[in-house]
């Protein structure tokens, strides 16, 4: 009989700190640093000093998009730092803490950009980052820190995935692993190598259409099976998968607008991909009835099959065109991160599945 772990009692999650908030803050620090410093093309031969950007004149031309993105990028950080400071700092003290940390962190990154060939340190970016952190902190100020404590967020996660934190992280990262243009939607693990293809490309459009249906159909079944296995209670499985796929579509279209432009974003997911998704969901209704161990095996071998299939399928001309458009996009510094997520997600999922769970109920 499988063991069912009940959600932790309130007394067990009332601590002095909120680990989820601090973990989220750490993740945001790493993400912002990665985006701010890529592609790490360091050049120390320049005579500029680390803090020259502070006294440098304000540029005559300031792109509005850059300012808005700098503000938006620091809103989540300012928000989460207010909760991460609890209980040592609360309310206005937490807001001040959040603002000071953001000022220092942004200043360090702007100084580091002094020695990057493709980046320009600017006080305008610094001011925009500070404004974003202030806005985020003000949003967090009237809210209870319990929103990111075990009393709320942790209980929701635990009620869905039990004690399996790794599957919760897989769930959160999945939509972002679909952002980088793929040969077929949800075709994760594609290394883009030409030597592995069974042929350079399909010669007929109907074959591209069929390829997209098959790849999305296969990916939908496999990914769905991963989370059917991971969820603790069957009655929420349909809602969880629906949320996952809807969020994936919405985030894909939204981010593709900045990568490829409005027209391409509206067509980034083809009709054939939607058809493959629909067919895959129908099959998942039957997979849902299988035992947990059967679902686990289907997910493991299915992910291996998916990685093989996406690396041997002929390259789709639409994928090639989207790939060529990336350098002209507005968020080029995120593209490497999205690409790595697309490569890593299926491998990480396999490793998670290979560790059998003992706290998933079949009921």
What's the confidence (pLDDT) of residue 362? 42
Note whether 138 and 172 are same-domain residues: no
For residue range 18-30, list pLDDT tens digits in order: 667 787 788 888 8
Q: Is residue 8 part of a domain?
A: no
Choose the final residue of a domain: 87, 120, 148.
148
d(CA 13, CA 105): 30
Q: Flag whether pLDDT at 272 surpasses 60.
A: yes
Task: Give the closest residue to 28 by CA, choosing from 89, 121, 90, 109.
Answer: 109
d(CA 60, CA 77): 29
Note whether 183 and 266 are same-domain residues: yes
Note whether 115 and 261 are same-domain residues: no
Task: Give the closest residue to 232 by CA, choosing from 285, 172, 165.
Answer: 165
Question: Under a CB-based contact definition with an 8 Å cutoff, are residues 288 and 233 in contact?
Answer: no
Note whether 183 and 220 are same-domain residues: yes
Choose the final residue of a domain: 89, 119, 148.
148
Question: Under a CB-based contact definition with an 8 Å cutoff, are residues 134 and 71 in contact?
Answer: no
Share of the chain above pLDDT 70, in %: 77
For residue range 320-339, list pLDDT tens digits in order: 677 666 665 566 767 778 88
What's the confidence (pLDDT) of residue 154? 63
Note whether 126 and 248 are same-domain residues: no
For residue range 124-157, list pLDDT tens digits in order: 888 889 999 999 888 888 876 665 555 555 666 6
Domain limits for position 329: 163-354
Q: Is residue 363 part of a domain?
A: no
Per-residue pLDDT, averaged over 79-96, amounts to 85
d(CA 151, CA 114): 44
Q: Flag whether pLDDT at 303 surpasses 90.
A: yes
CA 13 to chain centre: 27
123 band by pLDDT with thresholds 50, 70 and 90: confident
d(CA 90, CA 86): 6
Choose the final residue of a domain: 148, 174, 189.
148
- Our count of domains for the chain comes to 2
246 band by pLDDT with thresholds 50, 70 and 90: very high
* Residue 148 CB neighbours (<10 A): 26
Distances (CA, A) of 291 to 6, 190, 234, 249, 295: 21, 30, 11, 29, 6
Q: Is residue 13 part of a domain?
A: no
119 band by pLDDT with thresholds 50, 70 and 90: confident
Q: What are phi and psi of 116, to 5 degrees?
A: -110, 130
Question: Under a CB-based contact definition with an 8 Å cutoff, are residues 226 and 155 in contact?
Answer: no
Note whether 315 and 193 are same-domain residues: yes
Note whether 123 and 187 are same-domain residues: no
Q: Is residue 34 part of a domain?
A: yes
Per-residue pLDDT, averaged over 43-54, amounts to 65
Q: Is residue 12 part of a domain?
A: no
What is the SS3 string spanning the chain? CCCCCCCCCHHHHCCCCCHHHHHHHHHHHHHHHHHHHCCCCECCCCCCCCCHHHHCCCCCCCCHHHHHHHHHHHHHHHHHHHHHCCCCCCHHHHHHHHHHHHHHHHHHHHHHHHHECCCCCCHHHHHHHHHHHHHHHHHHCCCCHHHHCHHHHHHHHHHHHCCCHHHHHHHHHCHHHHCCCCCCCCCCCCCCCCCCCCCCCCCCHHHHHHHHHHHHHHHHHHHHHHHHHHCCCHHHHHHHHHHHHHHHHHHHHHHHHHHHCHHHHHCCCCHHHHHHHHHHHHHHHHHCCCCHHHHHHHHHHHHHHHHHHHHHCCCCHHHHHHHHHHHHCCCHHHHHHHHHHHHHHHHHHHHHHHCCCCCCCCC
What is the longest distance spanned by two Cα atoms in the chain?
70
Q: Flag whether pLDDT at 82 surpasses 70.
A: yes
Maximum mean pLDDT: which of 91-100, 110-119, 138-147, 177-186: 91-100
Note whether 176 and 299 are same-domain residues: yes
Q: Is residue 359 part of a domain?
A: no
Note whether 96 and 182 are same-domain residues: no
Distances (CA, A) of 193 to 261, 314, 316: 26, 10, 13
User: ∠216-236-221 over CA atoms, to 5°?
Assistant: 20
What's the confidence (pLDDT) of residue 279? 94
Q: Is residue 6 part of a domain?
A: no
**Between 17 and 358, whose confidence is greater?**
17
Note whether 171 and 138 are same-domain residues: no
What's the confidence (pLDDT) of residue 14? 44
Six token digits for residue 352: 């998670």
Six token digits for residue 299: 């997910």
Per-residue pLDDT, averaged over 72-79, amounts to 87
Q: Flag whether pLDDT at 65 surpasses 90.
A: no
Six token digits for residue 277: 């998704």
Note whether 211 and 132 are same-domain residues: no
Q: What is the mean pLDDT of the chain?
A: 79
**Between 346 and 318, whose confidence is greater?**
346
Question: Under a CB-based contact definition with an 8 Å cutoff, are residues 13 and 149 in contact?
Answer: yes
Per-residue pLDDT, averaged over 275-280, amounts to 93
235 band by pLDDT with thresholds 50, 70 and 90: confident
For residue range 157-166, list pLDDT tens digits in order: 677 777 677 8
Q: Flag whether pLDDT at 305 surpasses 90.
A: yes
Note whether 185 and 129 are same-domain residues: no
Per-residue pLDDT, averaged over 73-87, amounts to 85
What's the confidence (pLDDT) of residue 224? 93
360 band by pLDDT with thresholds 50, 70 and 90: very low
Q: Flag whether pLDDT at 300 surpasses 90.
A: yes
What's the confidence (pLDDT) of residue 7? 46
d(CA 222, CA 123): 47
259 band by pLDDT with thresholds 50, 70 and 90: confident
226 band by pLDDT with thresholds 50, 70 and 90: very high
What's the confidence (pLDDT) of residue 5? 43
**Between 275 and 205, whose confidence is greater?**
275
Q: Is residue 199 part of a domain?
A: yes
What's the confidence (pLDDT) of residue 44? 62
């Amino acid at each position: 009989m499988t063991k069912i772990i009940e959600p932790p009692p309130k007394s067990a999650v009332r601590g002095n700190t909120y680990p989820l908030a601090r973990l989220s803050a750490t993740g945001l620090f790493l993400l912002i640093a990665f985006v701010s410093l890529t592609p790490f093309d360091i050049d120390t031969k320049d005579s500029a000093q680390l803090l020259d950007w502070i006294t440098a004149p304000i540029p005559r031309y300031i792109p509005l998009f850059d300012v808005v993105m700098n503000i938006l990028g620091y809103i989540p950080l300012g928000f989460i730092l207010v909760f991460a400071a609890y209980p040592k700092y609360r309310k206005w003290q937490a807001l001040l803490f959040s603002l000071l940390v953001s000022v220092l962190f942004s200043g360090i990154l702007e100084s580091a950009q002094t020695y990057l060939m493709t980046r320009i340190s600017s006080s305008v970016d610094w001011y925009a980052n500070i404004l974003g952190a202030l806005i985020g902190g003000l949003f967090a100020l009237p809210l209870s820190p319990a929103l990111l404590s075990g009393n709320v967020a942790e209980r929701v996660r635990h009620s869905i995935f039990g004690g399996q934190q790794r599957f919760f992280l897989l769930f959160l990262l999945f939509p972002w692993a679909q952002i980088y243009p793929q040969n077929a939607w949800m075709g994760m693990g594609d290394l883009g190598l030409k030597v592995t293809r069974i042929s350079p490309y399909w010669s007929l459009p109907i074959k591209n259409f069929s390829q997209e249906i098959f790849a999305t159909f296969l990916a939908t079944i496999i990914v769905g099976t991963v989370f059917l296995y991971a969820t603790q209670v069957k009655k929420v499985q349909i809602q969880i998968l629906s949320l996952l796929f809807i969020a994936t579509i919405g985030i894909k279209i939204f981010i593709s607008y900045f990568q490829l432009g409005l027209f391409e974003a509206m067509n980034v997911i083809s009709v054939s991909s939607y058809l493959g998704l629909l067919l895959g969901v129908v099959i998942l209704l039957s997979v849902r009835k299988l035992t947990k161990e059967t679902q686990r095996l289907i997910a493991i071998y299915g992910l291996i099959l998916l990685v093989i299939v996406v690396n041997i399928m002929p390259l789709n001309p639409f994928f090639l065109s989207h790939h060529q458009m990336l350098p002209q996009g507005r968020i080029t510094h995120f593209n490497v991160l999205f690409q790595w997520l697309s490569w890593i997600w299926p491998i990480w999922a396999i490793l998670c599945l290979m560790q059998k769970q003992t706290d998933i109920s079949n009921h």
